[in-house]
Structures are given as C-alpha cells and as structure tokens.
A and B are shown apart, each in its own frame.
Chain A
Amino acid sequence: MVDISYYILLSAVLFTIGAMGVLVRRNPLIIFMSVELMLNAANLAFVSFASMHGSLDGQIFVFFVMTVAAAEVAVGLALIVQIFKSRHSINVDEMNSLKG
C-alpha cells in the first residue's frame, strides 16, 4: 500500500506544472494542455482521497471533471479556430481586445 502522501505530492507537482504552464506559455494549445494537466492533478487527488476514505464520492466527481474537461476543450478549440480565422495568429499576448 503506497502512502497517500505520495499521491498527493504527485498531484501537487502536476498541478504546479500545469499552473506554471498556464501562466507562462503563450500558445493557447499549450495553455489548454496545462489546464488539462491541472484538472487531472485534481482528479488524482480526488481518487486518492476517495480510496483513503473508502467512499465513492470522489470517484464520481472525477467523472464530472472529465466531462467538463471534454466540453471545455471542445468549446476552447472551437474558439481558437475562430480566433485564428479572424486574426491569423493565436498568440495570447496579442489578444487583448477585452481591455477596459
């Protein structure tokens, strides 16, 4: 039986990597992948806590998260395609038209 702390540690590392990716990278596709990474880090934490408490709640939540992630990617990719069509670039540093 592997100690729960390892799972959590892995989850935290993955989350940090994802978060740094979102903050640092300029390519939206990479940012998406980083977001996926963060979600999956969360999934890992859910699953490990679920197994620790012997309850299925965490497992069920993972399914929700996966569904949401799939939907998010679908919408996000569609947006990216549209943005590229209109701007011929997907560099996030050039996308500031929502500026106040």
Chain B
Amino acid sequence: METHGFAFLAPWLIFAPLVGLLLNILLGGWFMKQPWGERAIGAIAASASGAAFVVSALLAYTVSAAHGELMTVPFAQWIHIGTLELDWTFRLDSLSTTMMLVVSGVGTLIHIYAIGYMHEDVRFKNDIPRYQRFFVFLNLFIAAMMILVSGDSYMMLFVGWEGVGLCSFLLIGFWYDMDTLGRSSWANSNAAKKAFITNRIGDFGFLIAGFLMFWRLGSFQFDQVFAAAPALAASDHTTIILITLFMLIGVAGKSAQIPLYVWLPDAMAGPTPVSALIHAATMVTAGVYLITRSAPLYTLVPEAQYIVAMTGAVTALFAATIAVGQYDIKKVLAYSTISQLGFMVAAVGMGAYVAGMFHLITHAFFKALLFLSAGSVILGLERGHHHLAHGHGHGDHHEEVFDPGDMRNMGGLRKTMPVTFWLYMIGTLALAGIVPFAGFWSKDEILLDANLHYTGVYWILTIAAFLTAFYMGRQIWMVFFGEARHEAAAHAEESPAVMTVPLMVLAALSVLGGALNLPFEGFHNLTHWLGHTLGEVEAMPLNGVVAGVSTVLALTAIFVSWLLYGRNPLKAGQPDPLKKPLGLAFTGMENKWFVDEGYWFAIVDRYVDIARFLADKIDWEFWHDFVHEKVIAGTYNWLSNSALNEGLDKRVIDAIANGLGKATQWLSGTTRKFQNGFVRSYALSVFLGVVIILGYLLLK
C-alpha cells in the first residue's frame, strides 16, 4: 500500500519507547551508580516518550495534510489461519492520531514530572535502586498504549489493551512490599492484583465480543467489521447487541465503570505520576476510545447505546457520591476520575462521540494536572514530616504513622505551597466546569447531547456535575485553606521546578483546552477533525439554558462547600461536617457504599471457598484419596493381598502344593527303607523281579 508523508514512521510510536526501555534496562544499573544516573535514566525515558510524541505529531500532520484520509501501515503478519487474518498494521486517522497525541503528550510531561517526584519518593521509601525500574515500566506503558490506539484490528487493540493492564499491575504494585504509608504489607500488591484480575474480567467480555465478531462478521479488522455489520444488524439484530454489550463489559473493566470500577480507587497505591498517567489521563480512557472506534457498530443498535449511556451516567453519579465522603486526596480524585469516565461513556453511548472524545482530552489535561499537583502536595507533606522527624531528634517520631495523603492532616497549604495551590486551583475550576476553563466546554457538550437524546441521562449527569463541583470545593478548602491540622502540613515545602514546570504546561492546557472545540460557528475544530473518521456530525451551538444551569449549579456547589468547609475550617480531630446532617448516607459514602465488602463477600470469598472445596475435598480427599487410593488402589490391594494372597493363594493353592510335598515326603520315607545299601539285597530284588516278570510272561 502506498504510504504518504510521515506514515512510514508509525512503527516508531512503539519502537521509540521500547528503545528507551531497553537502554534503561541495559544501562540503568550502571547509571544508578553515577551521581547523575537518575537524571540520565529519566532523560532517556522522557525523550523516548517525547520521540513518540514527535512521531505522533508528524503522523497527525500527515493525516491532516491528506484531509483526514485513512492510512494503514502494514508492519508484519501476526496470526494467519484459514480465514483468520491478524496483522501488525497501524491505522492512522484523525481519531487514532488524536489519541496518540494525548497519550504521548501528557505522557511526556508526566515523565518529566516523575524525574523529580520519584527522586524523592524512592528516598522516602528507602529503596533508591527501584528508581530505574519505574521508568522502564513507564516506557513500557507508553509502548503498550501506542499499540492500543494505533492498531488496525480489534485484536491488535486487545494486545495493547492487556499490555496496559500489565503495566498498570506493575506500577500499582510498584511499592509491592508495603502499603501506601510505607509499612511492610501486602496492601499494594493486593491492589495491583485486584486491578489486573478485574481488568481480566473485562477482557473476558472483550474476547467474547471478538469471537462473535469473527464468526458473524468474518473479521477483526475495523473496516471489514464495520462494512459487514449493517447486513448482520438487519438479519440478526441480537448478535450485534451481544457484541456491543460484551464489549461494554470490556469497557467497564478498563474504564472503571459499574460494576467493575472497584479496582481504580485501590490503584492509587501506585506512585502519583502513575495515577495521573495511567489511572486518569490515558489508560482508563481506552474504553471510551474503544466505543468511539466501534461507533459504526453501536450506531446500529440503539438499545445497546441506551445501556451504555445509562451505565456511564449511573457510574458518574455513583462515583461522585463516594468522592464526597473520601479523606484521601488521591482517593477523591480517583472517584472523580471514575465519575468523569462515566460522563465520557455516557457521551459515547448517546452517540456523542466527539463530545466524549473532547471530554477525554480536556480531562486528560486537568485530571493529570490535579493528580500531579496532589502528588506535589503529598511530597510537600512528606518533606515537612521528614524535616520534623529530623528536627526533633531520634526515636520519638519514628513510631507515629503519618499519612501524607490524608486531607485531615492538611490545611493551610496555600501559604506554604503557593505554586501548587494555584495549579490545583486551575485544575479544580476546570473539573468543576467553570467558564472558561476546558472542562466547562467539554462537559457542557455532553450535557447538551444528553438533553437532546435522553432526558434521564441528562438529569443524572447534571446532579453528578453538581457533586463534582462540591467535592472539588471541599477538597480545596480542606487542603489549602484554614489552618494546618498537622505539624507536617505547617512545615510543608514547595516542589522543585522539574515538577512544577510540567504542571504549568498542563495548567495552560487546562485553561485553553476548550479552544479545541468551542461551540461557536467556525470553532468546531475537533468536530471537523474527528469527522474525518466518525463521519460528519452536526456541530451543536451553545445552548444557553444547559450551559447556564450547569454553571449556576457548579457555582452553587462551590458555595455550599465553602459554607461547610471554608467558612469554618476543619479542626484537627473534628468529624466531617457532613456527617451529622447526612447521617447513614455519609457513612455509606465514606465506606464506598460497601461495594468492595459486598464483592468480597459475594464473589471473592465464595470463589476461594469453591476453590478450596474443589481442591481439598473433591480433588484431594474424594478423588485422589478416596477414589484413587481407597477404591482403585485399595480394591486392587485387597484383591491381591486379602483375597488372592491370603485367601486363594495361601489357603487353596498353597494347600495343594504343600499337600503334594507332604505326600511325597511320606512316600519317600516309606520307600527309603528298601534301599539298605547291600549290593546283594539289590541283586536279590533284581532276581526276584526277573522271576516275577518271567513267571508272568510264562504263565500268561
């Protein structure tokens, strides 16, 4: 196939991070012995990711120069059996290049941030050599994510899909031998395992969708599937619904939707750059990308679309309620991410693919910003705590467990960490949907679509948006305002430039990101750009009512949060002011509505019970020990020993043999007397014999 422009560079999307990874594996050990080693490792990893960004930009340019024409870059064959044809082929169109830009762009910024963050993190955790490993995993993630977004078939996408799942596992479990507070524990590795297994449940759905697709639509390749789908939808509607719904299970796993969202909050066990990159900006949006990519399938089945939209909307609201009751700065953001992913899934479910993608992009900016700023806050507290521990001499502070992520330990950080404060503020305003920050425009577009299509979804999302603004306001007041509730917060220190500069870039993007797709005539850039891939969609103008309602609600929510948390700042040890008025409901929010406990009780414990039962009772006691040992071997032993050996052999056969022997003995005892040794008596018997025989012969 003829390729244009820079399309030939497509494989370097993957090779660039792989080269970085290999360099860091091979040379990292040596680097770590040098004084400048950490910076070298970070630089290699960041430039590898940066190279991928450059390639993405060149590819996007190539696509745009070709007016959004689809390009495929075949690289190698993968699995060819009969009619099954899977290839390593890159797909370049406006949708995939957009994703590439987001992934590698945000990814590179986070790489740079991580150089500074991990430098301190490994020191607080007392394991400096692990620095190298972090960047290896991070590059591996970029490579896997690039496979995901650039694949030309569902199965190549799946390779990336599980690949990022693996990286997520590795990075959540990065501090695998401790919990989030650095104590020796199984907690982090449990979180990692939980993420991987939950994702695998989603992957199971993805696989089934794939099998159905292959046998009913004849291919995994996107264009072939989409070409065959309308005919099947006409003849066998149910199959398409099944395909899309099984795919939704996959989406629920990867993009943390109900009922598979539970892994994402636990995933905060990973270092903060990981939470920002994987569990906010890029990987978790893969599900949204998948549905957008499969738009031609979903468009055929409105029933499935409705289910997707409702799933997203309910998740958005549900997660938002939990976010209100959290105390951990990252947990709030995690539930917020689930909630925002719900917005995106709802959008793509409604067929508002551009709105979903738009929100995906802006969310990547402001959520990465928020997470990284949260990381800065956490490190700031760690520094403060560290400072204190050293200042107060030895012994007395070592026993105390200090949680630098707990917002109840913070307060008043506005003064000690001003840069971080302002960055966090920008992220919050963007997330809360305040004009003119990026989040406002994208969220508004989703609400607009919902208002047009499904009123129910619209109302749910609107409430979720209200809660979003509320819990972000709560966070801001608790973290940055009031008085420090812990000594560490009072002594918190600002982060270095290597961390804050990438944040500033992200902040700028969070402010200006809305410009990608303003709801004004002539500014629907993203709509047109993605239209090359998704088909021209009608760009919607701003709806004053929808925008007005959401803005008023957001401002109200922030005001309410000020009333509760800003006007009378929380004191150390004081319970949350919402606890009293909400009562039991707030206990539910605090405890994530006990969903984890429910899953644990209903599924995990049951599975362990069943596995134990099968292994111990059925397989070992019954099958191995009883059937095989007792029944088969035992019966054989009984037969051979008791029945045949003792019974037949000893009693019957031995008796016969012994009897014969005894008879012979008796006989010989009797006859031996004839042999007296005297030759003449023998001669006499011979003589007598002759006489008898002769006599017989003669007298016969």
Task: Please give the residue numbers on chain A whose beta carbons come within 8 Å of chain B beta carbons, in ascending order.
Answer: 19, 22-24, 26, 31, 92-93, 95-100
Contact = CB atoms under 8 A, between A and B. Distances in A.
Interface string B661-688: 0000000000111111111100110010
Interface residues of B, number: 13
A69 B679 CA distance: 19
B86 to A, nearest CB: 94
A96 B680 contact: no
5 contacts: A23-B680, A23-B683, A95-B678, A95-B679, A100-B677
Contacts of B676: 96, 99-100
B505 to A, nearest CB: 120
A17 B550 CA distance: 154
Contact of B672 (A19, A24, A100): A100
B677 A98 contact: yes
Contact of A100 (B674, B680, B687): B674
Contacts of A26: 680
Contact of A22 (B671, B674, B683): B683
Nearest to B672: A100
Interface centre among A24, A31, A92, A100 (most CB of B within 10 A): A100
Contacts, number: 35
Contacts of B673: 100
Contacts of B684: 23
Contacts of A99: 675-677
Contacts of B671: 100
A96 B675 CA distance: 9
Contacts of A93: 678, 680
Given A22-B683, A95-B677, A100-B673, 17 more contacts: A19-B687, A23-B683, A24-B680, A31-B680, A92-B678, A92-B679, A92-B680, A93-B678, A93-B680, A95-B678, A97-B677, A98-B675, A98-B677, A99-B675, A100-B674, A100-B675, A100-B677
A22 B679 CA distance: 10
Interface centre among B671, B676, B678, B684 (most CB of A within 10 A): B678
B499 to A, nearest CB: 114
Nearest to A35: B683
A95 B684 CA distance: 16
A84 B391 CA distance: 124
B69 to A, nearest CB: 118
A95 B679 CA distance: 8
A95 B678 CA distance: 6
Nearest 8 pairs between A and B by C-beta?
Answer: A96-B677, A100-B675, A99-B677, A100-B672, A98-B677, A96-B678, A22-B683, A99-B676
A96 B673 CA distance: 12
A77 to B, nearest CB: 15
B415 to A, nearest CB: 126
